[in-house]
Structure formats: C-alpha cells, structure tokens
C-alpha cells in the first residue's frame, strides 16, 4: 500500500499512510519492532557489497531497521520538499547535532532571543568551545535580519512561536534573506509540527521537532528529528553517523504510533487551549495572555498569515504578585501537573522567568508568568480548576 503522489493528499490523510511501505506486503498495519545490533549476511561477498553501500538496507543496528525507517519516512512525507529525516535521542540532541553538522570554527550563528533555553546554552558553551560565535536577535526582526548578517554568518536559527513568550516570527521573510546570502536556516518547529506550519515550503532548510512533545504525544518517550532539503539531509546524515546518534526501535514504534493520531489530538489541544486562553484573558487577576492565535500576542499577524492552526501551549502573566502568590495558584491545581515538557495528553502548569534568559531584547511583565499546556481534557473542567487557583492567588495577595 503506497500512494503514488503523497504530496497531493491533505496532511490528515498523509498521517495515516506515511511511512507504511516498510511494513507493506506482509499484511501488518504497523511495522513490527525490529531490534538489532548485528545484521547477519549470507556470505562474505554480501557483507562486502553491503559495506560498499551501507545505506541500501540492513547493515548494522546504528543505521536502524525498518521500524526506525518507517518513522523517519513518515516525518519526511509530512514535510513537502524534504529529502529525508534523521532521528535523534532527544530534541536537544537534534538541535546540537544539526548545529554541529552546519558550523565550523570561525563561523557565526544568529540565534533567536526567544529560543528554548538549552538551545541558547549550547551556543554559549559547546559551540563557543569550538570557536563558533553566536549573536542573539529580536524574534520580531523579520527582513531586518539582513542588517545582522556578516561574512562569518553561516546559520540562522529560528523558533516560532518562541519558547515561554510565544512571539511568532516572520519565517518566510527571514528565510528569503538567508537564501539570498547563501545562509542555512534551521527552525525549531516543535510547537506547530508540519501539520500546522509546513516549514520547508515556507523557505526553511532544516526543520527540527522535539518529537518528545506532540509526535509521541503520551509523555513516555524522548526523541528528536530533523527533516531537511535533499542537500542538507546528506550533511545531517553524515554528522549523525559520526556522532553515533540513533534511537531505539521500541521508541520509534511508540513515536510512529503517536504520529498516527497527531491530527485529531492537535485539534483537541487547539480547541481546549483557545477556550482556556480566551477565558483567562477576561479574568481580573490576569494581565496578559500570550497565545499566538490571540491578537495581543507579538507576531500574531504572522500566525494568521502562515499557520493552519494552534497547538495547546501558551503563557499568561499574572497581575502583580510574587512567587509565593503564584505558587498558591499552581500548587493547588488538581488537573494540571507541575513539570517540564509538554505535548502529552495531559495538562501542565509551569512557572517561567523569561526576563532572566533574554539578552538581545528585554522582557518586562506585571507579575509572575505561568506557562500552560492544555491537554485533551474537557476545557470546562480545566477552567473550574484555574478559577479556584486564581482565587487562591488573590487571597495570597492579601
């Protein structure tokens, strides 16, 4: 079972068919979990032939088995214009490996100021040690990025919407400038996934997903991916093999299983997220809601123009109060867990402090900021929980 023109299908249909050729022919819908380190050959001649073309099929466990290939192929099929996908043991592993594949000593990367904190830290530590410099830029810079480009600039890293504060970047404008200068663009597209924002079709060269979040969708696997144009894919593959990066077939199986329901889950995350965000925006204890699909969010016009929907992650800023008052809100919540990560079926609340992370821009807020992930629960129940939390916050203000 294989569609001869997957790009003609709508994303929701592609989610169902993508990556299935590896299990086709045996009647099994899902690829079996094939665990392997050693691959046995019939004879030495076959082993020698495989050594000459190790990418042609089963070769050695690090290169994967049909289980991992099904997932990688499925992610490639979901991204029109892609040449292939590499899988990594976490989202951070994908970010580091992609930057290491693209940058040499003496090069410079332009990194968005609203990037996920470990992306910034890796620039300031790992890359700096290798003689690679980083300049951070305003997420709302758009085509103005041209003014920052110098002789050493080799990569522009984008994350849209940004972590914690959700600024939506003008990705097509930045990528057009980068292409004109021969600079490679890398986007952390974890919030939207290719379903809500087709990165490569918007001009991006390499699209990274922390599959740990929405692809896996059930808070039980760490994984990252990088889907790239054909030229860039070859570079990523070489570096991933040099670094020995691979994922287990068991994890790949779970990620592919999660991927099949990504479309329906995202619709529920969007509906629940927007219902809760709109309600929060009307509460007197809330100063701002930072949700890309709501007009008050910086770059909302880019979301409206470029995105096919919203996922379930956003922040809100409390009106006044301190850490203690905020904790009165979060610690008593019954349906929201307190913890890192997001993209699973369950709701989460996390106190965040964007001001302490930024360097190219300033973040000022009227009170503490809370990031919410809205799971697939009924939003009315979540609202009751948050309403009680806001009352506790008010009482703690005195």
Ligand X SMILES: Cc1ncc(COP(=O)(O)O)c(C=O)c1O
137 is catalytic: no
Q: Which is nearer to ligand X, 163 or 227 (CB)?
A: 163
Q: Which entry of 14, 88, 107, 116 is annotated as an active-site residue?
A: 116
Residue 210 makes contact with ligand X by CB under 6 A = yes
Residue 68 makes contact with ligand X by CB under 6 A = no
Chain positions 110 to 139 lying near ligand X, rule: CB under 6 A, are 116
Q: Which entry of 14, 213, 237, 265 is annotated as an active-site residue?
A: 213
Residues in the chain: 398
Q: Which is nearer to ligand X, 352 or 396 (CB)?
A: 352
Give the CA count within 13 Å in the CB-facing half-sphere of 27. 0
CB of 189 to ligand X, least distance (A): 9
**Burial class (CB within 10 angstroms; exposed 0-12, middle 13-18, buried 19+) of 312:** buried
Q: Is the peptide bond before 143 cis (omega within 30 degrees of 0)?
A: no
Q: Which entry of 62, 128, 152, 238 is annotated as an active-site residue?
A: 62
113 is catalytic: no
Chain positions 160 to 179 lying near ligand X, rule: CB under 6 A, are 163
CA–CA separation, 269 vs 262, rounded Å?
10
CB of 2 to ligand X, least distance (A): 30
Q: Which entry of 73, 188, 205, 306 is annotated as an active-site residue?
A: 188
Give 341's contacts (C-beta < 8 A, 6+ positions apart): 212, 213, 219, 348
Q: Which residues in the chain belong to E strands, given as ranges?
A: 84-88, 108-112, 133-137, 153-159, 184-188, 206-210, 224-228, 286-290, 313-318, 337-338, 348-352, 369-373
CB of 188 to ligand X, least distance (A): 5
46 is catalytic: no
Residue 43 phi, psi (nearest 5): -160, 175
Q: What does the block give as tokens for 193?
A: 């996934």
Q: Which of 84, 161, 224, 298 binds ligand X (CB under 6 A)?
A: 224
116 is catalytic: yes
Residue 219 makes contact with ligand X by CB under 6 A = no
Among all residues, which ones are annotated catalytic?
Answer: 62, 116, 188, 213
Using CB under 6 A, list all residues that contact ligand X. 90-92, 116, 163, 188, 190, 210, 212, 222, 224, 341
């Amino acid at each position: 079972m294989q569609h001869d023109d997957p790009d003609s299908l709508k994303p929701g249909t592609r989610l169902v068919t993508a990556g299935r050729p590896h299990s086709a022919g045996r009647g099994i819908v899902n690829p079996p979990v094939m665990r392997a380190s050693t691959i046995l050959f019939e004879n030495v001649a076959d082993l020698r032939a495989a050594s000459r073309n190790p990418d042609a099929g089963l070769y050695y466990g690090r290169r994967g088995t049909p289980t991992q290939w099904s997932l990688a192929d499925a992610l490639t099929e979901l991204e029109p214009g892609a040449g292939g996908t590499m899988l990594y043991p976490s989202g951070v592993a994908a970010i580091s490996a992609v930057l290491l594949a693209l940058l040499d000593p003496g090069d410079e990367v332009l990194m968005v100021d609203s990037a996920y904190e470990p992306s910034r830290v890796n620039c300031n530590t790992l890359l700096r040690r290798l003689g690679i410099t980083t300049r951070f830029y305003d997420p709302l810079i758009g085509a103005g990025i041209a003014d920052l480009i110098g002789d050493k600039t080799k990569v522009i890293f984008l994350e849209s919407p940004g972590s914690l504060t959700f600024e939506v970047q003008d990705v097509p404008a930045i990528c057009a400038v980068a292409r004109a200068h021969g600079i490679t663009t890398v986007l952390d597209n974890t919030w939207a996934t290719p379903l809500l924002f087709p990165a490569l079709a918007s001009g991006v060269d390499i699209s990274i997903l922390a599959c740990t979040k929405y692809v896996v969708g059930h808070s039980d696997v760490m994984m990252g991916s990088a889907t790239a144009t054909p030229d860039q894919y070859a570079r990523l593959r070489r570096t991933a093999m040099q670094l020995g990066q691979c994922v287990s077939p068991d994890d790949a199986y779970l990620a592919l299983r999660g991927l099949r329901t990504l479309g329906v889950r995202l619709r529920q995350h969007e509906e629940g997220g927007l219902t809760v965000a709109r309600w929060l925006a009307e509460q007197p204890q809330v100063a701002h809601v930072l949700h890309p699909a709501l007009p008050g969010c910086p770059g909302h016009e880019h979301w409206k123009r470029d995105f096919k929907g919203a996922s379930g992650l956003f922040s809100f800023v409390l009106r006044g109060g301190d850490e203690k008052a905020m904790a009165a809100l979060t610690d008593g919540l019954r349906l929201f867990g307190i913890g890192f990560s997001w993209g699973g079926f369950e709701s989460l609340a996390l106190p965040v402090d964007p001001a302490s992370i930024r360097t190219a821009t300033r973040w000022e807020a009227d009170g503490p900021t809370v990031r919410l992930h809205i799971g697939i629960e009924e939003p009315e129940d979540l609202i009751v929980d948050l309403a009680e939390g806001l009352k506790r916050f008010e009482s703690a203000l005195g």
